[in-house]
Structure 1
Amino acid sequence: MTQARRGFLTGGTWCVDYNRSISHWPEEDGIAELFEEERHGGGPSCNLALDLKRLDPSIPVETIGLVGDDDNGRYLLGVAQEAGIDTRQMAVLPTGATQYCDAYVSRSSHRRTHIFHAGTGASLTPDHFDFSTTRMRFLHLGLPGVHKTLDSPWRDEPNGWVAVLKKARAAGLQTNLELASIDSRRMAALVAPCLPHLDYLVVNDAEIGAIAGVETVSAATTDRAACERAARAVLERGAMRMVAVHCPAFALAVLRGADTVIVPPVAIPADEIKGANGAGDAFAAGLLYGIHEGWDIADCLRLAHATAAASLRSISTTGSVVGWQDCLALAQSWGQAAFAVKTAPME
């Protein structure tokens, strides 16, 4: 059954991002200068879907989400349809505002700060997810921590995310879960019951530490060995075929019964970087696309890095992602960066 499937189903967060480039993120009662602002689609269900269609317009992509009957909702539907994404399961709620996010990108640090309004996202439930007719191969689901109903117990399940993942796997889909930068204890509590129902987990250095209960980042320095230990610990707690960890300094993938694969990042010139908003989604899109196409895992990680690097050229989440061949060509022209991380001895 799996071999007959092709393409991706993205589910969960569809929101409007109001992306703003600012001089720096100020302290309370401080002031910062605004340089650019744009409206774009956002959230992992939106971002991964758009990134995949940019990487390969021929890849089938379907989506499941919930928007409001308002200008933002119509905008998101238009964005998806223009990209060639199947929106038959993108429901419209007659009442309530479409979920939106103010996304600030600091020009001084290139870091992002998100302030969101849950809107219709709070009303998304497992009942919105119907996998009975899809022929897609992968489900990419997110975001735990920003969807009130899915974050809560659902019938006999510890949360709605588990209910969705179990339905997806029962229908023959392979599953991946995208995370948000929420409190580490809250993240761990939401994700732990999902691990037995995931085929893949693609997270950043801080997220893998939160899930595993391992310190992976200290004084803004990532400990690569700690990330690998955390990834292997999480792999053993779940059903995943692979756990991948990414950060600006490296990417690694741990697989059952295999050596860890580690790939250095792209040496993107500093003057090309406009913001990191959506870079994690772009990384996941490149990685999952390579897996879908049957590539060697090291090549999948190289495309993931290349896609993330291409995305850094815009303050929006998906605006500067290009075809996969072009992403790899850009990465080749910039070259690989050297590893620059703390590497504590393996325990």
Structure 2
Amino acid sequence: MSRSGVLCVGSTIVDVAKVIDHYPEQERLTLIRDVSLSTGGPALNLAVDLRRLHAPFPLGLVGVVGDDAHGRLVREACVELDIDASGLRTAPGVATSFTDAMVVRDGGSRTFFHHQGANALLGVEDVDLAGSGAKILHVGAPGLHPRLDAPIDDGGNHWATLLRAAQSVGLLTTMELVSLPAAQIREVALPCLPHLDFLVINEIEAAALTGVSIEPLDADGRLDWSAYESIASRLVELGVSRLAVVHFPAGCVGAAPGGLLWRRGSVHLPRSSVRNATGAGDAFAAGVIYGLHEELPVDQCLRLGVCVAAASLQGAGTSDGVLPVAECLALGDEHGFRATSGPTAPRRPEPGGRGGQ
């Protein structure tokens, strides 16, 4: 069958962003300057961001919400953005999952307080793979869904079962993570890697999976690009079959089988333009996955990823800064990209099949 679209499965959350003057010490107070509600979670965010990019393909969401105001907000957003929510189940007597994001006004650094809520009820049986015509299955995020996180007899977990089943019926697979403790990330995500075509995660999550110790840097910190390439390459060795992408404030790297490597610096957005970094990682993933779906070369996928992330940084909420593709790319043209200094591996022809992936 001819497949098209992205089916997004997993974390369906409402983000409650609270802009504060500074993060206080315990037993101390800081002022909340602004409060905003927006859709959130790696599954829902990807669907919303892809539609805000004006993706020309179908989008579907599978998850669980409560019968409450937050659940209604999620459903209203899906209707408004033409996201198929037929796979979104409402569970009575439980709260829709939400995250309080404390955002420091100067610079946008964030601290998260998460309530698992209805996400804890999502299981493999909620996902109708046989009835889906999607091209890509996107899942997120292992570690926040107890039923899917649970180990099974073969040493894997129910996420791995779902990904394996998706590949068996012809879907490409992707996964996002959230920055949980390293041991927990390894426990839930490592069994999934052999069943992934693509992986798009940040440097903290990638370091956790590969057992590498890194010091997170801001966008203008001096970093060893080759070290980040090694981390991405290790993810391929651990099972990612087509492309592993690691993003961080200064940009991103990609790795594919055969020693293929890519680098892309982030958009040199003025600090004064950064309003809120909540959702920027999901926005980056949306840009990359848009390109993968449309079978663009990897370097174009990474360029779109950093441009969509830059657009997201200018918004007050999780997704409201994301613009149509051409407008996101124009931000890169306007502000330029950070340098990716240092040697990299020699280029080879991209692997064949589905747009070089």
TM range (shorter): over 0.9
Residue matched to 2:38? 40
Residue matched to 1:194? 192
Secondary structure at the counterpart of residue 162 of structure 1? helix
Residue matched to 1:18? 16
Superposed structure 1 runs of 4+ greater than 4 Å apart: 154-157, 218-222, 343-346
**Partner Cα distance (1:265, 1:10) in 2:** 26
**Does structure 2 conserve the Cα–Cα contact (< 8 Å) formed by 1:244 and 1:253?**
yes
Unmatched segments (≥5 aa) in structure 1: none
Residue matched to 2:229? 228
Residue matched to 1:294? 295
**Does structure 2 conserve the Cα–Cα contact (< 8 Å) formed by 1:151 and 1:190?**
yes
Aligned residues: 342
Q: 1:251 offset after TM fit, Å? A: 0.9
Residue matched to 1:175? 173
- 338 and 344 in structure 1: CA distance in 2 versus 1, 3 angstrom threshold: closer
**Partner Cα distance (1:119, 1:236) in 2:** 35
**Does structure 2 conserve the Cα–Cα contact (< 8 Å) formed by 1:139 and 1:175?**
yes
**Does structure 2 conserve the Cα–Cα contact (< 8 Å) formed by 1:226 and 1:344?**
no
Amino acid paired to 2:337: Q
**Does structure 1 conserve the Cα–Cα contact (< 8 Å) formed by 2:275 and 2:315?**
yes
Residue matched to 2:350? none
Q: Could you state the TM-score of these two structures normalised by the residue count of structure 1?
A: 0.94
**Partner Cα distance (1:28, 1:240) in 2:** 45
Residue matched to 2:133? 135
Secondary structure at the counterpart of residue 241 of structure 2? coil
**Does structure 1 conserve the Cα–Cα contact (< 8 Å) formed by 2:6 and 2:134?**
yes
Q: 1:156 offset after TM fit, Å? A: 5.2
Q: 1:109 offset after TM fit, Å? A: 3.7
CA deviations 1:157-201 (Å, max 9, x no partner) are 632211221221122111111100100111011111111110001
Q: 1:339 offset after TM fit, Å? A: 4.3
- 61 and 294 in structure 1: CA distance in 2 versus 1, 3 angstrom threshold: same
Please identify, of 221-230 and 91-100, the stretch whose mean Cα deviation from structure 2 is larger: 221-230
Residue matched to 1:272? 273
Task: Specify which of 114, 117, 121 is matched with residue 115 of structure 2.
Answer: 117
Secondary structure at the counterpart of residue 246 of structure 2? strand
Residue matched to 1:162? 160
Residue matched to 1:310? 311
- 27 and 21 in structure 1: CA distance in 2 versus 1, 3 angstrom threshold: same
Secondary structure at the counterpart of residue 260 of structure 2? coil
Residue matched to 2:354? none
Please identify, of 213-222 and 247-256, the stretch whose mean Cα deviation from structure 2 is larger: 213-222
Residue matched to 1:246? 247
**Does structure 1 conserve the Cα–Cα contact (< 8 Å) formed by 2:233 and 2:259?**
no
CA RMSD of aligned residues (A): 1.9
Amino acid paired to 2:334: S
Q: Residues 36-75 of structure 1: matches in 2 within 5 Å?
A: 36-75=34-73
Secondary structure at the counterpart of residue 99 of structure 2? strand
Task: Specify which of 89, 92, 115 is matched with residue 90 of structure 2.
Answer: 92
Secondary structure at the counterpart of residue 164 of structure 2? helix
Q: Could you state the TM-score of these two structures normalised by the residue count of structure 2?
A: 0.91
Residue matched to 1:204? 202
Residue matched to 1:330? 331
Please identify, of 90-99 and 329-338, the stretch whose mean Cα deviation from structure 2 is larger: 329-338
**Partner Cα distance (1:109, 1:183) in 2:** 24
**Does structure 2 conserve the Cα–Cα contact (< 8 Å) formed by 1:227 and 1:245?**
yes
Q: Residues 98-109 of structure 1: matches in 2 within 5 Å?
A: 98-109=96-107
Please identify, of 75-84 and 226-235, the stretch whose mean Cα deviation from structure 2 is larger: 226-235
Q: 1:235 offset after TM fit, Å? A: 0.4
**Partner Cα distance (1:160, 1:259) in 2:** 31
Q: 1:155 offset after TM fit, Å? A: 6.5
